Structure 1
Amino acid sequence: MMMRRSNLFYGESRFHLQIFSGSMLALDSPYISNFAHNNHEEPQELCLEYGSATQVYLVPIAQHEEQVFLTPTQVRSQGPRLSCVPVDNMASQVTLPRDLHGAVDFSKYPFRAYVSDLHGKMVGVSLFGTVRSVCKVSTSGTTFYLEIEDATGVVLTKLIFTGHWSLGRVGVGHMVYISGLTCSLNKINILEVSWSEKEPGSLFVNLSLLPALLNSTCLHNISLLSDLPHSANRTHICRVRLDHIDCDSLKLSLFHNLCGYVVDELPDGLQCSLCKVACQNGCTPGFQLHLTIADDSEKVFAWCVGQTAVEFLQISPDEYMELPEDEQAMYLFTLQNESFTVAIANTSKQVDGYAENAEALPVWEIARAQRCE
């Protein structure tokens, strides 16, 4: 049976309104001012009024805890300088709090979970992995689905925003860190993972787009382009030269300011290819660029957009379009053999609607680029 309760406070009793939402209360001798009896299929409505004999008590919350064993999967390191092989009998034990619903709360424990560790009744969970897909649930609403992959598996995560998309550009192949995840089992015992922007502790970082990733050598090892096919599930940092670029590989498009995705021109106006919202006043012109990069080991055909393309071209879209056609070709030719440090990711699984001709999109995206002086 479901019951909806309304509580009426007035006069000196209004101090009870300061009680935080979600607190557990005990009511003694409330005055029942209204009662509507319905059939069993509808909820019963009960209105309680604070009377002269009524007492309200705030029930203290008993902190429940649970012992959690960290398995070798959870404690192993995947850093490039450390062994990735789990050690037998490697395990530790920690006591974590449980919330009022019985879910184990990981929010205050520096614990990196893997996809294979996720199960029902977990809150405050953090994941580190590679984006495999991203899409919006429907054309209306503020819910998206993000598929994240790590060394142990893939999980589909529901992202719930208070308004519009607010994570910036997130593309397939990007490495991300997300915290504040909630894991639960639905009615048919299927794991559901969700992330709500408004919940305390919710954080999302796109590591592939961080400037520090290129500037700080302690955060990466330099890869050769020939290494890319052997480890395609992470962002590589490479030192390359611009081998080839021409006018045919350069296109000017509109990008949505909120998510950085291409804006489609539809008969009824402009629409973001990811957010599926009208964005007549919320878009900026930018480059879509196909180029060939090279180092001493290999040549790779890649693509980039937005600010990363500007870093390669060293010119803004407006300045480039003001050049005569012959000067555009000449300008692009002068950029060849320039040296760059790049963050490059595998985008073999495309995002629906990201490009007009997704089949022609190269496999490798240059997420960030920095010119070498």
Structure 2
Amino acid sequence: MKVNQSLMAALTENMLIVNMLLSLFFLPGALTVYCGVYNPALRITTPNNMQALIGSCLQIPCTYNTENPTYDRGKTIYGVWMKGGVILLSSPSFVIFNSSGSINTYSLNITGNLKEKNCTTLFPNLTTSHTDIYFFRVENVVYRASACADPLQITVKDSPWSPSINLPSDLKEHQSVTVTCSAFTPCPQSPPELTWNLQQDSLRQTEKNTDGTFTTKIQETITLSDTHDGYNIRCSARYPVIGGNKTAETKVTLSVSYAPRNTSASISPSGLVSAGSWVELSCSSRAKPPPSFTWFRNNKDGATNVSVGQVYKFNSTEEEKFYCVATNDLGQQKSSVILVDIKDDQSSEFQILNILKILGIVLLCTSIIIFEWWFRFSKKPKKEPEEPTYVNNVMVTKES
């Protein structure tokens, strides 16, 4: 065990020595980087992965930390960015920027104060060639160290990010809510322009996130009603880039709960109902969530609960008045009163009987008239035929 520990200590010491020696040498146009896996000389705090848009810029939030005794904050400090490579001797990273002014391939600018260990850097006018892995390095007199344990992956894309619309998940009528449309802002110097179909004069704000990145947002406070249920909120983000703009849009459909509306009752069959026949009452209402229904009958002493459910069927015996109540978690609403009107069947039979009597009298009178007419016609005397007169055996008529 002691042999293994001694061997490990020796290997670690050798790796650190190699690391210090290699960090002193620069290849033409490139820097060979190697990190020991134990106690790296320089650490930086920055997002591991960042995305940018072609034709725009990218601001990299960056702070560094070192406890090396050779680091002298009072002396001039230079920041170096290296691009590409894997942390192996056989795969060097190329230096693309040195704050001393000796190298600046991509027109980078360290906007942070290096003496305060702020290495925030601005990458302008990005192209797809910027997509790669980057490493940061600090140089201070004899102290030189690379943060090879904290690589930064930058990805440059051609299409913009869709904005996000944030609002509470449980929406109810009469509730006052703040709707926020926010867009990722890799380049705070040229933030996206946000527009939506809510109030157009919403103030745009670009805010710094906890990790040092930025977000642009607009907000609007609205008071919800049942008319907002199913309403589509659309927000678009227009990113300025070299040669124009790139736009993306997001849509969110509101789901708003509300108390019953437009509650009404109907009856089938409509009109007068015969006593003893079946009647069907139906209740309808617009509500979210869907309501439950309760039927009430109006009595002299007040209303009586007679049924639960959207439809109430019963055998009618007398004239009665009913109404329904629609209820959900947000409230209730009562329908107008509906009347079950029973028709007077005895009166109807009497009317039918009178009609039959009248028809009988009319038929009787008609029969008498027809009989009288026939009787008179049949009793009328008939003329006897005249006998012919003959003269010289020739029949002579009166006309002759």
Rg (Cα) greater in structure: 2
| TM-score bin (small chain) | under 0.3
